[in-house]
Amino acid sequence: MAAPEVGIGIVGYGMMAKAHSYAYTVAPVMRTLRHRPRLRMISGRDKEKVSRAAAAYGFESWTASWRDLLDRRDVDIVDICTPPGTHAEIASAAAVAGKAVICEKPLAVSFAQADSAAEAVRQAGVLNAVGFNYRRLPAVSLMKRMIDDGAVGAVRLVRAVWLSDEFVDPSIPFDWRFDRSMGATTIADLGSHLIDMATWMAGGIAEVSAQSATFVRRRSNQDVTVDDASSALVRFETGALGVFEMARVAVRRPCDFTIEVNGDRGTLVFEYPRLNELRFGDGADRPGLYGMRTIRAEHESHPYARNWWPVGQGVGYGASFVNHLGALLERYPEGPWEPDFAQGAAVQAVCEAIERSAAERRWVRVSEITAGVGIRP
């Protein structure tokens, strides 16, 4: 028997909407789902562009107002792929309308916004998830599993770096990406992924000490209100230490991120340019085998790999979205979904702590951000 359908409505029509549409289309091909996604409606303010996107991505209809998605009885899941400054409002309205909600990262541009969205879905009792898709790469999920299984022992150090050349050219005109109220900081845009993966693997972050810089301060005669580059020292709640770096002005570094975890028994390293590989240094190896071994994270015993190709064929960027949205659909409608809005708000709190630390040039405890607002259980 054919699986029952679940209606999808996507807000936004750009790159993320394309990636999510691709994932909904491919997921039923690569894995068995209890509910088959059907692309019902896509929304966007530019009628010409959204109509083209609807045709290209395979949607049945389109609209210039995202609120139209909330009125559709055949739209079960609202998937938000708009600039970060719009996320909280749309997510909260979708929750009130009784829709399950998926939102691209970062969940918002401030902790208060993120927390309000988390509270909205909690009050409405709807399924909710944040688009931290890199968790779903086989090598990254394998890294998490190995840490949980004790492969590196007690975690002592975490190193996370994301370098991009997106803002290198000073002639790039001003748009929403340079407006903090709409596009969020580099800390929240790139750093949210790093913070999510690091805390997923090593636990919560207690305090941070950061620095930031904006090298091109004006574009198209408008002030740039986001950082070009930031870095932070962090202390985890377990006592482990960490170093984060996020930059969008690293020449010829298109989308390069690295996560390294050092424990008292071993080391694990993931590097996105080699996204099907995980490097592992085992302190128990014989001295003659000193060094790092490379694991091809493509064996059917590895997370998500069974749903893709034989060993040696690899997976790519798009697979992370297929794995992420496919995993959510497998748990629809009972749930739970993860990472959820509460986790997205927790990441946002760390981002804001880094932003405050850089502005005030001092150590900032994450509890300073959540005090008086708080991430609700």
Q: Give 375's pLDDT tier (boundaries 50, 70, 90).
A: low
212 & 294 share domain: yes
Any domain includes 341: no
Any domain includes 370: no
75 & 180 share domain: no
The pLDDT value recorded for residue 63 is 98
| pLDDT digits 0-9 by tens, 142-187 | 999 999 999 999 999 999 999 999 999 999 999 999 999 999 999 9
Write out the two tokens for 132. Answer: 């931290």
Share above pLDDT 90 across residues of the chain, in percent, rounded to a whole number = 97
Is the predicted pLDDT of residue 373 greater than 80, yes or no? Answer: no
| Beta pairing partners, 263 | 155
Is the predicted pLDDT of residue 190 greater than 70, yes or no? Answer: yes
Q: Give 2's pLDDT tier (boundaries 50, 70, 90).
A: confident
The b-or-e profile of 187-217 (16+ CB within 10 A means b, else e) is bbbbbbbbbbbbbbbbeebbbbbbebebeee
Range scoring the smallest mean pLDDT among 1-5, 199-203, 206-210: 1-5
The pLDDT value recorded for residue 41 is 98
Any domain includes 21: yes
Any domain includes 356: no
Any domain includes 247: yes
The pLDDT value recorded for residue 3 is 83
84 & 198 share domain: no
Is the predicted pLDDT of residue 310 greater than 60, yes or no? Answer: yes
Mean local confidence (pLDDT), 93-102? 98
Any domain includes 100: yes
84 & 215 share domain: no
The pLDDT value recorded for residue 154 is 98
Dist CA 69 CA 62 (whole Å):
9
167 & 90 share domain: no
| pLDDT digits 0-9 by tens, 249-288 | 999 999 999 999 999 999 999 999 999 999 999 999 999 9
User: Is residue 323 within 8 Å of residue 135, measured between CB atoms?
Assistant: no
Number of domains comprising the chain: 2
17 & 89 share domain: yes
User: Is residue 69 within 8 Å of residue 75, measured between CB atoms?
Assistant: yes
Dist CA 206 CA 233 (whole Å):
11
- Predicted TM-score (pTM) of the model is 0.96
CATH value at residue 68: 3.40.50.720
70 & 96 share domain: yes
Domain range enclosing 188? 135-315
Radius of gyration of the chain (CA): 21
69 & 168 share domain: no
95 & 186 share domain: no
